[in-house]
Amino acid sequence: MICWNGKKSIVYVPAGSENAWTTAIHIAASEGDVYMIDKLLYHCPDCWDLLNSNNQNALHVAVLNNQDEVVRILLGSDKCDSLVDEPDSDGNTPLHLLAAFGNHVHELINHPKAKKLSFNKENQTPLDIALSCKETTKKEKLVEDLCSIGQFGKRDFEVKQKYGYMPNPNDETGTGVKMQLREDDHNKAIKEDQTVIEIIMKSAQFHIVVATLMMTITLAAGITLPGGFESDPDSPNKGMAILIRKTTFRAFVISDAIAFTFSAVAIFIYFIMASV
């Protein structure tokens, strides 16, 4: 029996080496100690989001150690909702790790916070990882659930285009199916995507050149107005444009200002998007 009075701070103290450390809730999650998890969340309710040296939370660790019951306990707490889509140092969410082990935990896969289309640092989604794993019964169910993305129903069609349904040679009845990556189609799709990106980038560069020229010309036109300025020292309109009372001149000034503004905004947006 643990006495919690005056010793709660130990829960937050990391254990291990400088480059490989963990905390109490991580250890409890890795061992599948549901009782300890409950006590930790009760006595130290703010310890649920602690990270270990790999930037992994307790849900990551529970998934890594196939502690399905701990996963369900954590998902059952509203406080732990943010753990579901939190990436570790490799960009993997708990769902990525679940797919890597070919495991199937319905509560995690279908959790409202679970992002099935999220990418890790290797640009892989949970589905990509699941398809690269060894064929198992759990994997087939996992892949099936990952393909069903609810409101993003179009993703089902995209997945079926990218991955072909092939007979499973390990199924003696011949009725089982598995999703097998078609390398030729996959490589072709990658090349097509790269071609589209190159076309977009070339178009963007052309557009930014045009926008820069337009901004330069409109700025120059705004500084050197047609007709010049009133220079008579005795005139009440000294310094004003001579053609200011002409309707066509006013239309010119308004059009010039609009062109300059939109060109400047286009250039600004281009640099903002380039830095994202």
Which domain CATH number covers 110? 1.25.40.20
Residues 156-164: contacts with CB within 8 Å, 24+ apart? 159/127, 161/185, 162/186, 162/189, 163/131
Cβ contact 26:59 at 8 Å: no
Domain end residue (candidates: 135, 153, 182)? 182
- The predicted pLDDT at position 161 comes to 45
| Together in a domain, 177 and 196 | no
69-106: b (≥16 Cβ within 10 Å) or e: ebbebbbeeeebeebbebbbeeebbbbbbbbbbbbbbe
User: Given this model, what pLDDT does residue 7 score?
Assistant: 67
Domain annotation covers residue 3: no
Residues 62 and 144 in one domain: yes
Which residue ranges in the chain fall short of pLDDT 50?
A: 1, 3, 150-157, 159-182
Could you tell me if 195 and 178 lie in one domain? no
Neighbours of 126 (CB within 10 A): 28
pLDDT at 154: 43
Per-residue model confidence (pLDDT) at position 42: 84
Asked whether residue 2 is domain-assigned, the answer is: no
Find the domain containing 236 and state its range: 191-274
- pLDDT score recorded for residue 141: 76
- What pLDDT score does 205 carry? 80
Last residue of a domain, one of 127, 157, 182: 182
pLDDT at 62: 92
Question: pTM of this prediction?
Answer: 0.53
Do residues 89 and 55 make contact, with C-beta atoms less than 8 angstroms apart?
yes
Instruction: Give how many domains the chain has, as a whole number.
Output: 2
Listed residues 182, 203, 231: the one ending a domain = 182
Statement to judge: residues 135 and 199 lie in one domain:
no
Are residues 53 and 19 in contact, defined by beta-carbon separation less than 8 angstroms? yes
pLDDT at 218: 86
